[in-house]
Structure 1
Amino acid sequence: MMKYSKNKRNWLIGVTLIGLVTLGMLQFVFGLSTSFPVAEYYEYDKAIPLRDTTRIVLDTTDYQTFSISYNSVHDQRVSGLLSIPKNIAKPIPTIILMHGLGDHKAVDYVAYGNESFLKNGYAVLRIDISGHGERKKEFYDFDLTGPNKYWTRNIVSQTVFDLRRAIDLIETKSELDPDRIGYYGISLGGIIGSIFCGVDHRVKVPVLALAGGQLNLLYGKQAVSKEVKDFLGIIEPLNFIADISPRPLLMLNAKNDEIVPPIMSKLLYKKAKKQKEIIWYDAKHRDAPLDIIYGDGLDWFNQNL
């Protein structure tokens, strides 16, 4: 075996260190480093107090509904509704139910789902997407390719943080089971849910309705550019959907969807890993039959949650 003198060994160590430093500088200057792990963007300080409030707004023979609010990341205050069925053994499994673009937590199609899940023994938590409902201030055009693209991206990313804090809230409620949390998101709520459920494994059973991925397709000829890829990285569903596995994922989509093209839904489903299932409806985005689309989601929860 060849032996090195002490001085020669020190020289080799020095050259190696210089080489490593130089490589690091080249990676920094020329962008040769690996991509930022986007899931880490959604880490946050759980120690920050929720400072939540709860006020009863409806009390029936079958359930109670509470108006709730709590602190989220970036000094955001989140508004929501928590409905808890009566005469059910506690702790109760909970469904987080999310609306679509331009709507709010109490919009008619979400209220329909709330009633359906309550009747079947689930508590339901509905919150307003960032910039929606009670959280709406000045609303700009929601457009990832236009002059409000950063504002638009922040709507999505902020809501992921808000949903993670929503689970923190659920964990403080003795009547709710923190080990049996489902998610049902519709349209934008489904797109946000693909990110949220990928980064937060406390959601045991995700259902994504009328959602899709490969957002860069919105950019036409610029779709494959590094600039577009980098901009969309933290909100691209394809970057997160595989991390839902091995939890059971259900996707519900419309064959004639004019808002979320079916190809985007197919790409999202393909990227997801097992256990997964997709159901297609002979419908457009806004006329998918509520009783069926919620019924299929309910069956999935009953089987897996």
Structure 2
Amino acid sequence: MMKYSKNKRNWLIGISLMGLAALGVFKLFFDPSTTFPVSDYYEYDKAIPLKDTTHIILDTTDYQMFSISYTSIHDQRVNGLLSIPKSSSKPLPTIILMHGLGDHKAVDYVAYGNELFLKNGYAVLRIDISAHGDREKDFYDFDLTGPNKYWTRNIVSQTVFDLRRAIDLIETKPELDPGKIGYYGISLGGIIGSIFCSVDDRVKVPVLALAGGQLNLLYGKQAATKEVKDFLGIIEPLNFIADISPRPLLMLNAKNDEIVPPIMSKLLYRKAKKEKEIIWYDAKHRDAPLDIIFGDGLDWFNQYL
């Protein structure tokens, strides 16, 4: 687990939303729109070599698992796990599966999703969010409002680049179908995914679990200022989510989420365009039932991917 402070155990805890229940009020006072073309920020030079490596680490009767690594933007080295089922015909549809804040690519709930998708004929690629897992070095409080706010923002933006390069890697693998790529992101992985899937249309089917938008609410009375909105512009999900359309978007959220307040999920869903669907679970952020929340994502992939 990452060593973030108890006061910042999750960067969205403590947001006060009392008296702002009407969505029209949010739109009036907290419109995150910006004149800067934020999607252009995530363009990059695809000609930069991946310098990728692939090593088999597990070979079972049902699947093979490989340790992979590649070079991302800003000279970042990314490590991942690629699992490929043996029984399915190739090239295979691939799910990029991402964890939440403070976790890593092999954490238990991600391992659960990996196994489920594998059993149903999908290859699965998992990487660590920037500064997480194998990529953890010096770590500071993950906090968009404090003295480490630029470092925190960079974790989100860097991971978007890393995911785009992950697709570049998928395109080099003959056993994987580059025309059938899905994304399943959980919590921070879902928030990052709302940006990534918007700027990269090679993702054909996005599933965002326990995610939301309107990040400027973290700033309380300063939420509506231009300074705050400009700072958050390149990582604000509401600035991107509409560009997923017309690809089919599924959002999976908890009615009693204490980490990502449901109103933030509703705002993100409202900003998205069709094709879209949202499913609500009678649960909190950390106790959403894995079999159901991953099962609903699997059904969405089976339908559209």
| TM-score w.r.t. length of structure 2 | 0.89
Quote the Cα distance in structure 2 between the aligned partners of 1:148 and 1:283. 32
**Counterpart residue number, 1:133:** 133
Map Cα deviations across residues 191-248 of structure 1 (whole Å, 9 max, x no partner): 0000000000000000000000000011100000000000000000000000000000
Quote the Cα distance in structure 2 between the aligned partners of 1:111 and 1:180. 21
8 Å CA contact 2:87–2:121 kept in 1: the answer is no
Gaps of 5+ in 1: 1-33
Q: Which amino acid aligns with 1:122?
A: Y
- Aligned-pair identity in percent equals 89
Map Cα deviations across residues 16-45 of structure 1 (whole Å, 9 max, x no partner): xxxxxxxxxxxxxxxxxx811000000000
Q: Which amino acid aligns with 2:245?
A: S
Quote the Cα distance in structure 2 between the aligned partners of 1:73 and 1:86. 32
Quote the Cα distance in structure 2 between the aligned partners of 1:67 and 1:173. 14
Q: Which amino acid aligns with 2:94?
A: T
- The structure that has the greater radius of gyration is 1
Q: Which amino acid aligns with 2:66?
A: F
Q: Report how many aligned residue pairs link the two structures.
A: 272
**Counterpart residue number, 2:171:** 171
Quote the Cα distance in structure 1 between the aligned partners of 2:286 and 2:296. 17
Q: Which amino acid aligns with 2:229?
A: K
| TM-score w.r.t. length of structure 1 | 0.89
SS at match of 1:286: helix
Q: Which amino acid aligns with 1:234?
A: I
Structure showing greater relative contact order (alpha-carbon pairs closer than 8 Å, 6 or more residues apart): 2
Offset of residue 88 of structure 1: 1.1
Is 1:72 the counterpart of 2:72? The answer is yes
Is 1:303 the counterpart of 2:294? The answer is no
Quote the Cα distance in structure 1 between the aligned partners of 2:139 and 2:290. 28
8 Å CA contact 2:91–2:174 kept in 1: the answer is yes
Aligned 1:47-66 pairs, distance under 5 A: 47-66=47-66
Q: Which amino acid aligns with 2:280?
A: W
Aligned 1:95-174 pairs, distance under 5 A: 95-174=95-174
Is 1:85 the counterpart of 2:85? The answer is yes
SS at match of 2:292: helix
Aligned 1:232-271 pairs, distance under 5 A: 232-271=232-271
Map Cα deviations across residues 95-149 of structure 1 (whole Å, 9 max, x no partner): 0000000000000000000000000000000000000000000111111011110
Q: Which amino acid aligns with 1:138?
A: D
Is 1:214 the counterpart of 2:184? The answer is no
Quote the Cα distance in structure 2 between the aligned partners of 1:281 and 1:260. 13
Q: Which amino acid aligns with 2:284?
A: K
Offset of residue 183 of structure 1: 0.1
Offset of residue 157 of structure 1: 0.1
Quote the Cα distance in structure 2 between the aligned partners of 1:164 and 1:278. 25
Quote the Cα distance in structure 2 between the aligned partners of 1:59 and 1:240. 39
Once superposed, which parts of structure 1, at least 4 consecutive aligned residues long, lie more than 3 Å away? none
Offset of residue 51 of structure 1: 0.3
Gaps of 5+ in 2: 1-33
**Counterpart residue number, 1:200:** 200
Cα RMSD after superposing both structures: 0.6
